[in-house]
Structure 1
Amino acid sequence: MSKLSPLNWPVVRQMQRGDLFGRDKSTQSSKSRDMHGRTVEADKVVQSVCPYCAVGCSQRVYVKDDRVVHIEGDPDSPVSRGRLCPKGAASEQLVNSATRLTKIKYRAPHATEWEELDVETAMDMIADRFIESRRNQWQDFDDEGRVLNRTMGVAGLGGATLDNEENYIIKKLFTAAGAVQVENQARI
């Protein structure tokens, strides 16, 4: 029987097998019958949290050969119950993007090229600049002699991708450092 024979039509197969509503395997083509999900071949499944906002939707991350192959919502999560927003559903593209930076880049003042830095050097540079700015802009008293104990040279900006605990710690850090300009992107 040729491929184009009316006997190969799905509706005919449905009638022959008693599947009048087309809900059985009679409606499947050989191509779709041979297909399988991309999660079937994964080496492991890792629990994670979506990186995009502070809601904290739980994700199942499927990994094959140390590479993320699929991300989906975790139906066991009391927060999202297996659902992800469009950004969360596309977070696999964030992980596997060819344009994703995986090394620390630094461009010195007036330089035209970026250079790579190791983590220790970058963290030391940030800490040194933070301390120097705090020290240079520190105010003990105002013009009338009132105690200030603050700096106007350091400001903190929290992000919506951080959860409440992280934002709380950041607020504590900047307040302890004397910063009065502590804000969150959600209010801007």
Structure 2
Amino acid sequence: MPRFSFLEWPVVRQLRDGDILGRGTAVTSQHTRDKKPRTVEADHVAHSVCPYCAVGCGQLVYSKDGKVTQIEGDPDSPISRGRLCPKGAASEQLVNSPRRVTTVRYRRPHGTEWEDLDLETALDMIADRFLEARRRHWEETDEKGRTLRRTMGIASLGGATIDNEENYLAKKLFTAAGAVQMENQARI
């Protein structure tokens, strides 16, 4: 560690360098001057949208060697104009967290432990349960003989992180399946 020099004391640097108000380089340490933004070393920048709410703030996702290194607001976004809320600004942690679950987790009925399932098995289980609930709770007509063609055994609670196109497709899917209970977290 280099020996401290009185000439490098910030007040002396202010007077020596003419930075009397202490708003320039005189008040920054060498350690601070040596720092570089994480975005400088990125080898790729992708335009994205924040995954947390329905606002749709634009993000610039910086990566190096295939790993996300920084996420910042996109100044070209007409929605957020380069700004992100605290959650959006911290979304890099969503990608790089060592606690991030990257497998399908399943806990059997009355089970106490979680187990990993492959995606194909999980999707088959969801489809089977969806179709069984639809079949079991199908209502063709009401008590007066009026046509219903609906099921009360399926409901949809959408998240605010999907965009209009995905919401449109989800609405079409559940309507085609006969579901009448469709809601979104933004309304609740």
**Normalising by the residue count of structure 2, what TM-score does the alignment of the two structures yield?**
0.91
- The residue that corresponds to 1:42 in the other structure is 42
Determine the C-alpha separation between the residues in 2 that align with 1:19 and 1:113: 64
* Residue ranges of structure 2 left out of the alignment (5+ in a row): none
Which one-letter code corresponds to 2:118 in the other structure? D
Determine the C-alpha separation between the residues in 2 that align with 1:30 and 1:108: 58
Determine the C-alpha separation between the residues in 2 that align with 1:171 and 1:8: 66
Identity of aligned residues (%): 68
- The residue that corresponds to 2:10 in the other structure is 10
Matches within 5 A, 1:67-78: 67-78=67-78
Matches within 5 A, 1:161-172: 161-172=161-172
Determine the C-alpha separation between the residues in 1 that align with 2:117 and 2:76: 40
Deviation string, structure 1 residues 28-47 (Cα, Å, up to 9, x no partner): 32211211112222222222
Determine the C-alpha separation between the residues in 2 that align with 1:50 and 1:4: 47
Which one-letter code corresponds to 1:89 in the other structure? A
Offset of 1:22 from its aligned partner? Answer: 2.9
Runs (4+) off by over 6 Å: none
- The residue that corresponds to 1:108 in the other structure is 108
Aligned: 1:91 with 2:84: no
* Aligned partners of 1:106 and 1:114 also within 8 Å: yes
Which one-letter code corresponds to 2:52 in the other structure? Y
Which one-letter code corresponds to 1:180 in the other structure? V
Determine the C-alpha separation between the residues in 1 that align with 2:113 and 2:4: 61
Offset of 1:4 from its aligned partner? Answer: 4.5
Deviation string, structure 1 residues 81-135 (Cα, Å, up to 9, x no partner): 1100011011111111122110011122223322221111111111111111101
Matches within 5 A, 1:17-166: 17-166=17-166
Which one-letter code corresponds to 2:139 in the other structure? Q
